[in-house]
């Protein structure tokens, strides 16, 4: 079904070939002033037109002499020569000396004709017109010969070099005025979508800030382009067409994002195809993320219709647009460092699509790395911000087994260093704690169970967990046994998170407790199965069912919205805030954030598991110190919905 909506989904290679066939990226050259050259790419190897220095010059203050006059000089028998002149730096006169003569000379001044050495002032005495020399000078001593720095005809700066202050210095040394550099390709960027608002403006319900324009413009600049943002365009063919027509007249490369998915009527595709011949050359690429991509060429300019989802847009930019900008800008293709790692969990991949899977790298301590897929997905911009690199998964691979070796391409030159690796469930309390902790921490959110698995593998220094045992209602402790961690990891009591019903401000529906969920005029929003909050709800419902003497199933059936699941605490609060539900179960923190009312139900224990062998690690010790500190407890109390308990910071299991 989806396949059909795209005209013809092609491989990455095929897409690249089509682009190359219709658009040859040939860099152009311009000459610019030296003062504008910093950061630009040299387009032609620059040959030094003069010697630097252009003349023999003194490298010390002293006297220019004929070396042989001084050969037998020493403290007892100084040589004596006649002082005939003084030459300062910049002196334009053509002076010469004879044997038996000398001239006073300043550092940087031209050596007079006939002289072949400079004696430092320190080894001389001047008596009227005579100079006594106490030390022999070798020919060439203290003279910087013409061309000894840069020789005329020598290569001064090579083609392809990005000009740094070192190069501008060299170029200034021979007075270079106009520097041949590659033109920066002009890149025009727009975002499409009725929902988009430019950062800085007010956000209304249903709207989101435009992420792509900023990220794409900066990525274009980073790769050597001259990027310009040309605004947000509404989802309307006429305005988009008018805008794009204007842009292909002005820019070397045109980039839009959004409006590429077949579902929204495929705006970009239709409009790009109207810009001129050949129009759309690629519509749909077998890549993940980023399948709904459009590439067109019109008026000899390439036009990229990137997907709307930020991470997809950036991956497509990286694979197709960045190489093109770099080529036009004369910059070599980016080479990314590779690192071998183990897959930290089983990874499923889309069949028939070449996948770029973003991952976090965690060091196992023995020099090996584990790769954790970043779970936020292509709709999230943080997917890219948090990732260390990506694993490329070929079309034919559908699954990578846990523990198997993968090759990770680093997004930066090095892996983000971390003194402390926290893997597990996400909680704002960790942010509060880390704000008081002067260490580099890497926080990877994989949920409670994922965190405990990372503890078992020794990859996490600390795992935040809030798993509730369905039978006993006890938090975390039973799971250490269940996951065979009881003897090998400490469980440290964290803090309490208040969970309860999130309801509209002022409680218009007069909800008092769990029994109200059964009312016909109340709509509920549930958490996803498997989440701790969901387990808690079902536990409470089970109790209610017992009390009422009915089946759990019967009770659940009566709740309007029991089967509608939201995946996070925030999503529950947002649903209630925007009137999509009357009530949901979540932590108090989000109720406060959304200005909603809250009916407490039960405390949830948010604890920390630490592998036995990590407990003495300095950063872990510091973490625990802060956890136990009064300052942290005070800050925690100021955070709505979180509060320390008597055991905060205590080890609660025996090893």
Which spans of this chain sit near Mg ion (rule: CB under 5 A)? 193, 258-259
Matching residue, tokens 């309007």: 560
Interface residue with ligand AMP among 195, 228, 395, 603 (CB under 6 A) is: 195
Strand-pairing partners, residue 421, are 442
Sheet hosting strand 62-65, strand order edge to edge:
117-120, 62-65, 101-105, 79-87, 130-133, 124-127
- Helix (H, G, I), strand (E, B), or coil: what is residue 59? coil
Percent composition of the chain: helix, strand, coil (DSSP 3-state, to 5)? 30, 30, 40
- Interface with ligand AMP in residues 292-331 (CB under 6 A): 307-310
Closer residue to ligand AMP, CB minimum distance, 264 or 439 = 264
The least CB distance from residue 479 to ligand AMP, in Å, is 36
309 binds, among Mg ion, ligand AMP, none (CB under 5 to 8 A by kind): ligand AMP
Count the site residues for ligand AMP by CB under 6 A.
19
Closer residue to ligand AMP, CB minimum distance, 260 or 499 = 260
- Interface with ligand AMP in residues 236-295 (CB under 6 A): 257-261, 264
310 binds, among Mg ion, ligand AMP, none (CB under 5 to 8 A by kind): ligand AMP
Please answer whether residues 495 and 607 qualify as being in contact, where contact means their C-beta atoms are separated by less than 8 angstroms: no
For 568, phi then psi, to 5°, come to -150, 165
Distance CA 540, CA 618 (A): 41
193 touches ligand AMP (CB under 6 A): yes
The least CB distance from residue 318 to ligand AMP, in Å, is 17
The least CB distance from residue 305 to ligand AMP, in Å, is 9
Please answer whether residues 255 and 321 qualify as being in contact, where contact means their C-beta atoms are separated by less than 8 angstroms: yes
Distance CA 364, CA 458 (A): 7
Interface residue with ligand AMP among 65, 133, 181, 196 (CB under 6 A) is: 196
Which helix (H) or strand (E) segment holds residue 420: the answer is strand 420-424
Please answer whether residues 162 and 39 qualify as being in contact, where contact means their C-beta atoms are separated by less than 8 angstroms: yes
Q: At a CB cut-off of 8 Å and minimum separation 6, what does 205 contact?
A: 578
The least CB distance from residue 569 to Mg ion, in Å, is 28
Distances (CA, A) of 580 to 514, 523, 526, 627: 19, 8, 12, 38
Which region, judged by CB under 6 A, interacts with ligand AMP, from 187-195, 479-487, 491-499, 598-606? 187-195
The least CB distance from residue 570 to ligand AMP, in Å, is 17
Closer residue to ligand AMP, CB minimum distance, 95 or 316 = 316
Closer residue to Mg ion, CB minimum distance, 259 or 450 = 259
- Helix (H, G, I), strand (E, B), or coil: what is residue 557? helix
Closer residue to ligand AMP, CB minimum distance, 307 or 451 = 307
Closer residue to Mg ion, CB minimum distance, 193 or 611 = 193
The least CB distance from residue 2 to ligand AMP, in Å, is 14
191 touches ligand AMP (CB under 6 A): yes
CB atoms within 10 A of CB 368: 14
Matching residue, tokens 């947000």: 232
The least CB distance from residue 453 to ligand AMP, in Å, is 32
Distance CA 212, CA 192 (A): 10
The least CB distance from residue 264 to Mg ion, in Å, is 5
- Helix (H, G, I), strand (E, B), or coil: what is residue 344? coil
261 binds, among Mg ion, ligand AMP, none (CB under 5 to 8 A by kind): ligand AMP
Distance of CA 28 to the CA centre of its chain: 30
The least CB distance from residue 10 to ligand AMP, in Å, is 19
For 69, phi then psi, to 5°, come to -65, -20
Helices and strands (H, E) in the chain, number of each type: 18, 37
Please answer whether residues 313 and 381 qualify as being in contact, where contact means their C-beta atoms are separated by less than 8 angstroms: no
Which helix (H) or strand (E) segment holds residue 5: the answer is helix 2-5
Closer residue to Mg ion, CB minimum distance, 259 or 373 = 259
Q: In this structure, is the dihedral angle defined by the CA atoms of residues 431, 435, 437 and 443, taken in order, positive or negative?
A: positive
224 touches ligand AMP (CB under 6 A): no
Closer residue to ligand AMP, CB minimum distance, 168 or 378 = 378
Closer residue to ligand AMP, CB minimum distance, 103 or 272 = 272
DSSP E strand boundaries for 247-365: 253-257, 278-283, 287-288, 294-298, 301-306, 338-343, 347-348, 354-363
Closer residue to Mg ion, CB minimum distance, 104 or 284 = 284
217 touches ligand AMP (CB under 6 A): no
The least CB distance from residue 290 to ligand AMP, in Å, is 11
- Interface with ligand AMP in residues 584-613 (CB under 6 A): none
Residue 305 token pair: 């219709």
The least CB distance from residue 255 to Mg ion, in Å, is 15
The least CB distance from residue 236 to ligand AMP, in Å, is 13
257 binds, among ligand AMP, Mg ion, none (CB under 5 to 8 A by kind): ligand AMP
Q: Which residue is nearest to ligand AMP (CB)?
A: 308
Which region, judged by CB under 6 A, interacts with ligand AMP, from 206-214, 321-329, 444-452, 468-476? 206-214
Distance CA 354, CA 287 (A): 5
Interface residue with ligand AMP among 210, 388, 461, 498 (CB under 6 A) is: 210
Question: Considering only CA atoms, which of 262, 264, 302 is closest in space to residue 284?
Answer: 262
383 touches ligand AMP (CB under 6 A): no
Closer residue to Mg ion, CB minimum distance, 194 or 638 = 194
The least CB distance from residue 191 to ligand AMP, in Å, is 4
- Interface with ligand AMP in residues 25-64 (CB under 6 A): none
Closer residue to Mg ion, CB minimum distance, 192 or 370 = 192
Residues at the interface with ligand AMP (CB under 6 A): 191, 193, 195-196, 208, 210-213, 257-261, 264, 307-310
């Amino acid at each position: 079904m989806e396949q059909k909506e795209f005209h013809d989904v092609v491989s990455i290679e095929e897409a690249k070939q089509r682009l190359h066939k219709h658009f040859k990226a040939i860099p152009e050259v311009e000459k610019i002033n030296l003062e504008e050259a910093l950061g630009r790419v040299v387009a032609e190897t620059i040959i030094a037109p003069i010697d630097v220095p252009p003349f023999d010059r003194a490298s010390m203050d002293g006297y220019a002499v004929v070396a042989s006059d001084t050969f037998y000089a020493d403290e007892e028998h100084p040589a004596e020569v006649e002082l005939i002149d003084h030459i300062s730096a910049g002196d334009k006169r053509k002076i010469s000396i004879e044997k038996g003569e000398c001239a006073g000379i300043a550092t940087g001044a031209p050596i007079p004709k006939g002289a072949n050495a400079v004696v430092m002032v320190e080894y001389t005495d001047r008596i009227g017109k005579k100079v006594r020399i106490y030390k022999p000078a070798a020919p060439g001593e203290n003279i910087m010969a013409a061309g000894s720095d840069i020789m005329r005809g020598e290569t001064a700066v090579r083609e392809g070099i990005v000009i740094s202050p070192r190069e501008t210095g060299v170029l200034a040394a021979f007075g270079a005025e106009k520097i041949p550099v590659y033109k920066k390709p002009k890149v025009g960027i727009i975002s499409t979508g009725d929902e988009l608002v430019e950062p800085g403006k007010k956000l209304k319900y249903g709207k989101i800030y435009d992420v792509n324009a900023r990220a794409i413009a900066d990525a274009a600049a980073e790769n050597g382009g001259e990027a310009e943002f040309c605004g947000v365009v509404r989802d309307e063919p006429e305005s988009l067409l008018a805008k794009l027509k204007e842009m292909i007249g002005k820019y070397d490369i045109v980039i839009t994002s959004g409006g590429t998915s077949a579902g929204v009527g495929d705006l970009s595709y239709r409009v790009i195809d109207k810009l001129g011949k050949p129009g759309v050359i690629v519509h749909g690429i077998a890549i993940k993320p980023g399948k709904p991509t459009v590439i067109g060429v019109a008026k000899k300019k390439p036009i990229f219709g990137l997907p709307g989802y930020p991470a997809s847009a950036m991956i497509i930019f990286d694979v197709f647009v960045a190489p093109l900008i770099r080529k036009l800008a004369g910059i070599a293709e980016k080479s990314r460092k590779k690192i071998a790692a183990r897959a930290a969990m089983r990874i499923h991949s889309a069949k028939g699509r070449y996948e770029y899977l973003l991952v976090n790298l965690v060091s196992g301590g023995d020099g090996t790395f584990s790769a954790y897929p970043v779970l936020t997905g292509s709709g999230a911009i943080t997917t890219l911000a948090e990732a260390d690199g990506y694993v490329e998964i070929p079309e034919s691979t559908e699954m990578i087994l846990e523990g198997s070796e993968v090759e990770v391409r680093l997004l930066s030159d090095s892996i983000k260093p971390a003194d402390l690796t926290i893997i597990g469930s996400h909680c704002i309390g960790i942010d509060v704690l880390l704000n008081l902790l002067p260490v580099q921490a890497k926080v990877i959110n994989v949920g409670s169970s994922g965190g405990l698995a990372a503890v078992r593998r020794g990859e996490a220094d600390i795992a935040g967990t809030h798993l509730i045992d369905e039978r006993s209602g006890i938090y975390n402790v039973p799971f250490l046994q269940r996951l065979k961690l009881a003897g090998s990891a400490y469980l440290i009591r964290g803090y309490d998170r208040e969970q309860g019903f999130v309801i509209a401000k002022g409680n218009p529906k007069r909800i008092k407790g769990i029994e109200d969920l059964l009312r016909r005029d109340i709509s509920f929003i549930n958490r996803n199965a498997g989440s701790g909050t969901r387990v808690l709800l079902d536990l409470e419902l089970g109790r209610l069912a017992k009390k009422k003497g009915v089946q759990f199933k019967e009770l659940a059936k009566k709740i309007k919205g029991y089967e509608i699941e939201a995946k996070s605490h925030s999503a529950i609060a947002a649903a209630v805030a925007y009137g999509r539900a009357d009530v949901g179960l979540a932590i108090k923190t989000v109720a406060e954030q959304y200005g909603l009312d809250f009916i407490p139900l039960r405390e949830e224990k948010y604890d920390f598991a630490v592998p036995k062998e990590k407990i003495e690690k300095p950063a872990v010790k510091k973490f625990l110190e802060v956890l136990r500190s009064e300052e942290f407890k005070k800050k925690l109390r100021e955070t709505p919905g979180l509060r320390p308990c008597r055991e905060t910071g205590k080890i609660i299991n025996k090893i």
